[in-house]
Amino acid sequence: MQDLHVGFIGLGIMGRPMAGHILRAGYPLTVYNRTRSKTEELASQGAQVAESPAEVAAESEVIITIVSDSPDVEEVVAGPKGILEGIKPHSVVIDMSTISPEVERNLDEKLRAKDCNLIDAPVSGGDVGAQKATLAIMAGGDQKVFERVRPILEVMGKSITYCGEVGCGQLTKLCNQILVSLNLLGVGEALTFARKNGLDPHVMIEAVKGGAAGSWQLSNLGPKIVERDFAPGFMVDLMQKDLRLVLEAAAAGKASLPATSLVRQLFCSAQAHGEGRQGTQILAKIIESLASLDQ
């Protein structure tokens, strides 16, 4: 049995397997989820189930949250029956949601007023990474606090990077999303160009993927696009939330990102076509459709 009692709030497609890894690593675990039925499997494996985030906090030294968006984290931490109402001094909240860096800094201030700390630690790697404990975790916050909770992060991820002060985990995750979406935009334009000019797209991908044109997006999503497989690894609607966070933080930092703005508009087109719950690779179909009025 590990010495730290862990709380876990948010048992969605990511949170459930992540909480399972913590339980199996021997940490005493208390969980909370708005929809209580999602706690049942973990309860049967030995987790305690709390009635509120405040109750989770009262039981735990480390409280992990992974929910959808900034307002959800604010609600869970600082809302009625939230973490702040139950938390004990010297506890640590690890927020693994992808949300605004600014919100993380504000919540950290509130936690510090109670002699507690926040670590922002968003993840990359999707539901498969959550299940296999191969997530990339990008963490921000006080470095000593980070080192104290690192063993817990290592239970859930393969690559754990300390990125700087509170908010730097989120900022790094947002860089990740800029790269992911613009690499995918390149794949979409290259495949559209290939298709419209009569190239065999599989041959094109094989010819270029090993060199300077290579990317994870090309190797992994390129073939899916060619096969017209638009099932989500990562959904358009979630990418749009992340790109909104990117452009907000870019404005705050006075960075001008023309291509990220463009790709966000193209994803808006996917959403307008009712494709928001498709995988991000639907972007290629949107680019094809730009030149299809005459077909």
Stretch that binds its own copies, among 7-15, 29-37, 45-53, 199-207 (CB under 8 A): 199-207
Quick one: DSSP state of residue 135? E
The reply on whether position 213 binds its own copies by CB under 8 A is yes
**DSSP code of 235?**
B
Which of 186, 237, 106, 250 shows the shortest CA–CA distance to 93? Answer: 106
Interface positions, 151-180, toward its own copies (CB under 8 A) = 159, 161-164, 168, 171-172, 174-180
Closest CA to 237 of 268, 261, 216: 268
Phi then psi for residue 143, to 5 deg, are: -65, -35
Amino acid at position 66, single letter: I
Is residue 19 at the binding interface for its own copies, with CB under 8 A as the rule? no
Q: Which residues are within 8 A (CB) of 142 and not within 5 positions of it... i.e. 6 or more apart?
A: 117, 119, 165, 166
Which H/E stretch holds residue 133? none
Measured from the CB atom, is 43 or 207 closer to its own copies?
A: 207
Instruction: Look up 241 and say whether it is catalytic.
Output: no
Residue length of the chain: 295
For its own copies, give the closer residue by CB, 73 or 178: 178
211, 228, 231, 274: residue in contact with its own copies (rule CB under 8 A): 211
- Name the active-site residue from 114, 173, 209, 254: 173
Please identify, among the stretches 9-17, 41-49, 81-89, 245-253, the one whose residues bind its own copies according to the rule CB under 8 A.
Answer: 245-253
3 state DSSP class of 95: strand
Give residue 27's Cα distance to chain centre.
23
Question: What residues between 214 and 233 interact with its own copies by CB under 8 A?
Answer: 214-218, 220
Q: Cβ of residue 246: shortest distance to its own copies, in angstroms?
A: 7
Cβ distance to its own copies smaller for residue 4 or 235: 235
Instruction: Locate 161 and state its tokens.
Output: 């990077």
Hey, which residues between 106 and 135 contact its own copies (CB under 8 A)?
Answer: 124-126
Is residue 204 near its own copies by the rule CB under 8 A? yes
Whole-number minimum distance, CB 281 to its own copies, in Å?
12
Catalytically annotated residues:
173
